[in-house]
Structure 1
Amino acid sequence: MKREKNIPNFSIPEGYFETFEERLFSKMAEENFPKTAGFKTPEDYFEKLETRVLKEVSALENPNKVIPLFPRKYFGYAAAIAASLVIGFSLFNTTSNTSSLDSLQLAAIDTYIEEGNLNMDLYDLTSYIEDEDVPNIDLDAKYFSDSSLKEYLLENIDTETLINEQ
């Protein structure tokens, strides 16, 4: 199937662009335009203008009384109530919004440190531990049992090197 192009059926008369300027200026000739402007000012318009303007302005000096929809004194009351509500909610909700280090899971802390997000070495970390807290740390009973410790030692320590070193 042959595809047809969208070609409009318009044609330009011969000599259209060559005579365009002449035709345009002939239509714009001065004799075709009216000789007068068509607008007239009334007689004594500018002499009476000042008195009419002052008369209109004096009528506007006594405007009708405007009654506001919301008086300004109520905005002060609303602001005081809103401020007291904000203070009240902040005082009573302090216990629910606070989170402590105890609520974090130990695994989340370990993961954070192992991923390199905490740029501290062992010496920096031990500087934060106070001397009174060291005796309270019971690592043996809390994190691993005797059987798991025995399995770790048997798997990871070479007994021949230990015997040779003694």
Structure 2
Amino acid sequence: MNEKKTNKNPFSTPKGYFDSFEESLRDRLTKENSPIPKQEGFRIPSSYFDDLQSRLTARLEEEKTVPKVIQLTPFRKFMAIAASIAAVTFLALGINWGNGEELSFTDLANSEIEAYFDDNELDLSSDEIAEVLPVHTYEINDFVQPQLSEDNLLDYLNENVEYFEELNLENNE
């Protein structure tokens, strides 16, 4: 910043300007082409200022006696917003309510069912499990003598056994 302060005024007027200023202003105002109108632009009633003080005090006293009313319009705004949100929610639920397919037991994956039984102890006995299983779809041979082919067994061993060499299958082949 500039630390030097100057006392010089940047504006200047010609010498003797204000000596003849009153005369030049009076000459301009008396000309016929003067920008100032000859008649007053505003009219005031004749007794306006006589009773102005009494009218002002009466108005101020009236404002002091009338209590201020707090409008409840912001509450109405929130009610309208809440009602519109509720309507949209009910409409969305109503549209999706009938479109949903009913889930059945067959829609569940076997892995989910097994995970449920593994995670939850149901304390079911073998008799209770046998009551639930449908008897007419299974045969006794399915449980006693499972039908395994040699190819299926080898595929299973390839996928699930890490050390295939340790099984010593070479001697039996």
- The question of a shared fold, defined as TM-score above 0.5 by the shorter chain, is answered with no
Larger Rg: 2
Give the structure-1-normalised TM-score: 0.33
